[in-house]
Amino acid sequence: MLRLLTLLSFVAFLSFQSQAQAIKYDHTVDIMMQKDMATTHAAQDVYISYANGQYNIDFYVNDGKKVQHYTTHASSAKSFNKADYKWETATKAAIKLYNTTSTDHLTMTVWQDPKGAMIQVDKM
C-alpha cells in the first residue's frame, strides 16, 4: 500500500512538473534597473525592476471599475535581464525571469488576492 501511494505521488509530481514546463509565455519585457514611476500602465501589464538585491514585480489588474496596481518581490543570487509572462486568468500571471547569456532562470506565479499581491516562486 505504501509503495502504491509513493508511486501515485511520484506520478502526480511528474504531471505537475510537465504542466509547469508547458507554459507558452506570450509577452517579453526587459528587467529595469530602476522603477519607472512616470509610465501609466494598463490592465494586465507586468513591469519588473531590480533594486536593493530583489526583483520588484509590479502587475496591473482590472477590478471592474479601474486598474489596480499590485507589487510583490522575489530574491535570487542569480542575475536576470529579461522576463517572459503569460496571464493565466484575469488576476493571475505566470512569470519567468531569465538571463539571455546563460541558462539561469526563476519561475513564479503572481496573483491578486483580497489580501493584496501574492507570489509563489516555483523554481530557482
| Contacts of the segment 38-45: beta carbons below 8 A, 24+ positions apart | 41/67, 41/69, 42/67, 43/67, 44/87, 44/90, 44/93
Residue 11 lies in a domain: no
Residue 119 lies in a domain: yes
> How many helices (DSSP H) and strands (DSSP E) are in the chain?
1, 8
Residue 13 lies in a domain: no
Segment 62-84, tens digit of pLDDT? 988 899 999 999 999 999 999 99
Segment 30-73, tens digit of pLDDT? 999 877 776 788 999 999 999 988 999 999 999 888 999 999 99
At residue 33, the pLDDT reads: 86
Residue 118 lies in a domain: yes
Query: Would the pTM count as exceeding 0.95?
Result: no
Residue 19 lies in a domain: no
Range of the structural domain that residue 88 is part of: 25-123
Q: How many domains does the chain have?
A: 1
User: Is residue 9 scored above 70 in pLDDT?
Assistant: no
Residue 7 lies in a domain: no
Residue 12 lies in a domain: no
Residue 114 lies in a domain: yes
Sign of the C-alpha dihedral computed for residues 14, 17, 21 and 24 taken in this order: positive
